[in-house]
Each structure stands twice: as structure tokens, then as C-alpha cells.
Amino acid sequence: MTPQASNPSSAGHRPAAAPPGILVVDDDEALRTVLGRELRKRGFAVWLAPGGREAVAIYPRVAEFLDLVLMDLNMPGMNGRETFAALRAVAPDVRCCFMTAEHRIERLAALLADGAIEIYHKPFSSLSELSQSLREHARPGDAAVSTNREAVQWTS
């Protein structure tokens, strides 16, 4: 799986101009495809995985290019929380955002307590807003990224 981006000049050292890299993990093929296409159009290097096991297998091969993982919470086989734990076992500093139609506050709060960066509710209100938020999380120190989070509202 190759991203829509150029490879870094030396392993482990991404050029400053490299696009933010994201691994999208979702068992819904249509959503995964749309997110991949739309995030690429918005300047991300994107890798896709249809489930948790695949994400765990792909991650070590592309970790040096990744800034963020965007993962569905409810997937068959290995769910998002289990996948996050497995990724953290090999990469403790992995940065992960979740997407879900789940509304149980205690379950979502537990994800945040486990280290999730953000939880996006499906359906998304705007792919542009989702993309901007992901860019902010991928490159939190980037001065070119808008910090007006109050303007971004997610609806379910």
C-alpha cells in the first residue's frame, strides 16, 4: 500500500514539507474509500486498512510516514480499542483518533483516558472540518494550522 506522497530522503527523517500521514482503519469499505480519496485530495498521505489485524500488520511498515491513525471503534474481529492497545504495544507514542456512531459517554471517556486524541461522531458533519481537525492533530505544533477549534462542531 503506497501513499500519495514522496518517500523521505532518509529513513526516520521526514522532510518538513512531507504531507501529514494517516492510517485510516474501518471495516466499511465505502467509508474507508471515501475517506482515503477525500483526505488525499486535502493533502494527506493515506494508507487504508479494513480492520484491526490489518492495521497492526501495516503499521510497522509505514510508521515512519505516519502522524496519526484514524480508526473506527466498532469493527468485527479486533475492535478499535483492542487495535489501539496492540498498536501501543509496539509503538507507545502512536497518536490515534476514533470515529464512531457510539454514544455511550462512559465508553468514549474510557478511550480518551486510554490516550485517544479525539473521537469523531458518524456521520461527519463536514469532510472539510474533519480534515482540518485531523491536520491539527497530525501536526499540533504547525503554525500554519488553524487553532480555532471552537468553530469545529461535530454532530451525530
* Inside any domain, residue 8: no
Residues 6+ apart with CB under 8 A from 117: 68, 95, 96, 97, 137
Cβ neighbour number for residue 41 with a 10 Å cutoff: 12
User: What's the confidence (pLDDT) of residue 16?
Assistant: 64
CA distance 22 to 134: 9
Per the structure, the count of domains in the chain is 1
CATH at residue 37: 3.40.50.2300
Alpha helices in the chain (DSSP H): 29-41, 52-62, 80-90, 105-113, 127-138
User: What's the confidence (pLDDT) of residue 17?
Assistant: 76
User: What's the confidence (pLDDT) of residue 140?
Assistant: 85
User: What's the confidence (pLDDT) of residue 45?
Assistant: 97
pLDDT digits (tens, 9 = 90+) for 51-60: 999 999 999 9
Name the residue among 120, 151, 106, 148 with its Cα closest to residue 22. Answer: 120
* Inside any domain, residue 3: no
CA distance 21 to 5: 9
Show the cell assigned to 11: 529513513
User: What's the confidence (pLDDT) of residue 151?
Assistant: 28
Show the cell assigned to 45: 498521505
User: What's the confidence (pLDDT) of residue 152?
Assistant: 30
CA distance 123 to 142: 28
Domain of 131 in residue numbering reads as 21-151
* Inside any domain, residue 2: no
**What parts of the chain have a pLDDT lower than 50?**
1-13, 143-156
Q: What is the radius of gyration, based on Cα positions, of the chain? A: 15
User: What's the confidence (pLDDT) of residue 59?
Assistant: 97
